Every structure is written in structure tokens, then in C-alpha cells.
Amino acid sequence: MGLRPNLLTRRAAGVASTTLALLLSTAAVGVVPAASAFSAAPSEVCAEPADVHSDARIKKGGIAKHEPNELTAKQVREREADLAAALRERASFRAGAQAAAPLASVTIPVVVHVIQRDSTRAGGNIPDSMITSQISVLNQAYAGATGGAATAFGFQLTKINRVTNPAWYPIVQGSSAERSMKTSLREGGKNTLNVYLGELSDDLLGWATFPQRKLNSMDGVVVLSESLPGGTAANYNQGDTGTHEVGHWLNLYHTFQGGCSGSGDSVSDTPAEASPAFQCPTGRDTCTTAGLDPITNFMDYTYDSCMYQFTAGQASRMLTAWNAYRAA
Ligand SMILES: [Zn+2]
């Protein structure tokens, strides 16, 4: 496939801006208000309910002391066991009945909820054009058009739902307000991607739920509205937070999951990585195992200008999970 026209620009910009970005990183932190402005206690943020595994993307130097939703080794073991069980369940169902064959290509309906405090841009009122640009970014990324492997997935915007509710703005990760927002707004079945856009708590760029066998009203992705293409989140405004969070929604872990040992992110063609990479640290190599750190992978934490690919192994893992969890 051809490269996205601005790919070379993006890659070059990521490399060239690394030094400058180091100088500017303190300033970039100020994009989202400090966590202390929000009501969620640290214990609420960090204690993820067992039934709502989710994962997040955070800016370097954020206020949050640690990533609120990085999975523990135990959570990964549970998720991998559940995936195996879901696949067995589907296989026995197919053998005994007329279930549909596994899908090889998938168009995902997308419902976008724009959470606003008021009608101002600062209050969350972003234009429709940013949302349609975000859908284009998803389609290019998942088609492999930016330089990575093609995946099975395409995205079709079916609805933009604008909601003005100061009680849901900012969206506070793990809060009862997040739960009531999603319970009120979520639409569609397991195959429908619900995206919630707004200002976010804890310096977060976004978070997402992993697939589950039983549909949960929390299912979906939450994305900082100003991270959409053309937004104001410096270094994170080309739409790749959306790409990253949808990757979790399709069952991908971070490339740095598990560090240098063990099965890492459960994908064999993403080299192991000791910790998240930020900015665009070309040549970073934190593990003695083969391969440089996958800093250009959408499932790392680098700048949008730096990340442009999924691997074939990630594409395969997402399709397997789709057929296990989200296919009709
Ligand atoms: Zn993440």
C-alpha cells in the first residue's frame, strides 16, 4: 500500500523535534488541568473494577503518578485465559450449529458522543470536521496506509451525538459520573464502537475497555477531544490517541506490556520493550532480546508524529479477538 502523503513529514518531524520537545515537555503538560482539580480520589483512579479492564494513554510528565490502567501480569493472564475460553466457546458453537464463519474483513459502526460543558470550544464544542478527520485517520491507520500492516478493520461514522452536561465534563476516569454517562449514552451491540470525546481527568489522552464476552455498558473508548486532528493538544493532535485506544478496544496491549521478559504484549513480531517510550527516541533499545524498541507502533506512548504502524501479528490478534468477542 502507498504511504499516507504526509508520512515522511510526520516521521521526519518526530525525529527532528525530539530535542525541542524535551525542552517543551514541561509546557505540554499544561494542556489538561491537574488531577487535583477533579473529584476522583487516587484510590478510585487506581483501583480498576475487575470486570472493567481498561487501558489508557498518558502524556509524559503527567500529574498522575502512574498509568491508571496498565495491566498487571495477573490481569494479562486472566485476559489471555478468557480469550482462549471465548475461542473454544465459539468453535464448539460453530461445530454444533449454523453460526457464521469467522470474518476476514470488518466494517465497524462508530457512534461518537461529544461531551460538552457548554457551546464554546473550550467547553468541548469541537466541529464535526475534526470528527470526520478522526474517522479518516482510523481508516488509514487500520488499512496500513500509513506504513504498517493492513488490518481487517474499517470504520464507518453512523452518528454524532452532542451532549451538554457539566457533570460529565471533564470525563473523570473510573468515576461514577463516567459510569452514568456511558450507561445513559452507549448505543449498539458488541460490534459498535462508542467514542466519548471531551476534556479528561488526570492528564490522560484517552482510555479504553478491552473486549468482554458479555457486553458491558462501560464498553467503548474515551478520547481527549483536542487530540483529534486539528486539535490543540500539542504533539498529540493528529488523531493517533484514537488509533491507540481503538487498538485496546480490539484487544491489543501496550508494546511495553510485561517489559523485557515473558510473553510481553502476546504478539510475537513486536520487539520487547522495558518501559513506555515518549516523544520519539529513535534507536531506543531497552531489552537484550532481538529488535529495537517498537517506538513507531501505535500501541506505544510516543508522539503522534512518531507512531504510524501496527504489525501483522497485531492485525492477526485483533481479528482473532473480533471473532471471539465482537462478531455477531
Ligand atoms: Zn494505552
Task: Give the tens place of pLDDT for each residue, 257-310.
Answer: 999 988 999 999 999 999 999 999 999 999 999 999 999 999 999 999 999 999
Determine the average pLDDT of the residues in 127-152. Answer: 98
Determine the average pLDDT of the residues in 123-135. Answer: 98
Residue with cell 493532535: 237
Give whole-number Cα distances, 62 to 54, 57, 67, 107, 139, in Å.
19, 11, 9, 35, 29
pTM score of the predicted model: 0.81
Beta strands in 12-53 (DSSP E): none
Residue 98 Cα to ligand 1 middle (Å): 37
Task: Please give the order of strands across the beta sheet that includes 193-198.
Answer: 54-58, 204-209, 221-224, 193-198, 106-116, 153-164
Cβ 203 vs Cβ 32: under 8 Å? yes
Cβ 135 vs Cβ 157: under 8 Å? yes
Residue 116 Cα to ligand 1 middle (Å): 24
Residue 24 has pLDDT above 50, yes or no: no
Weakest-pLDDT range from 20-24, 270-274, 300-304, 316-320: 20-24
Give every CB contact of residue 55 below 8 A, 6+ residues apart in sequence.
69, 70, 71, 207, 208, 210, 245, 248, 253, 254
Residue 77 Cα to ligand 1 middle (Å): 18
Residue with cell 465497524: 108
Give every CB contact of residue 186 below 8 A, 6+ residues apart in sequence.
194, 217, 219, 220
Residue 328 has pLDDT above 80, yes or no: no
According to DSSP, the residues that pair with 157 across neighbouring strands are 110
Residue with cell 508524529: 305
Q: Report the pLDDT value the prediction gives residue 34, as an integer from 0 to 100.
A: 35
**Per-residue pLDDT tens for 149-176?**
999 999 999 999 999 999 999 999 999 9
Catalytic residue numbers? 245
Backbone angles phi, psi at 266, to 5 degrees: 65, 20
| Helices and strands (H and E) in the chain: how many | 8, 6
Residues 7 and 4: their CA atoms lie apart, in Å, by 5
Per-residue buried b or exposed e for 198-230, using 16+ beta carbons within 10 Å of the residue's own CB? bbbbbbbbbbbbbbbeebbebbbbbbbbbbbbe
Residue 208 Cα to ligand 1 middle (Å): 8
Residue 302 Cα to ligand 1 middle (Å): 11
Peptide linkage before 68 cis (omega within 30 of 0): no
Residue 297 Cα to ligand 1 middle (Å): 12
Residue 30 has pLDDT above 60, yes or no: no
Residues 200 and 217: their CA atoms lie apart, in Å, by 19
Per-residue confidence band for 7, with pLDDT thresholds at 50, 70 and 90: very low
Residue 64 Cα to ligand 1 middle (Å): 14
The residue count for the chain:
328
Cβ 322 vs Cβ 152: under 8 Å? yes
Residue 214 Cα to ligand 1 middle (Å): 22
Cα-Cα-Cα-Cα torsion 98, 101, 107, 109, nearest 10 degrees, comes to 30
Q: What percent of the chain has pLDDT over 70?
A: 76
The DSSP code for 305 is T
Q: Report the pLDDT value the prediction gives residue 97, as an integer from 0 to 100.
A: 60
According to DSSP, the residues that pair with 195 across neighbouring strands are 112, 221
Cβ 274 vs Cβ 286: under 8 Å? yes
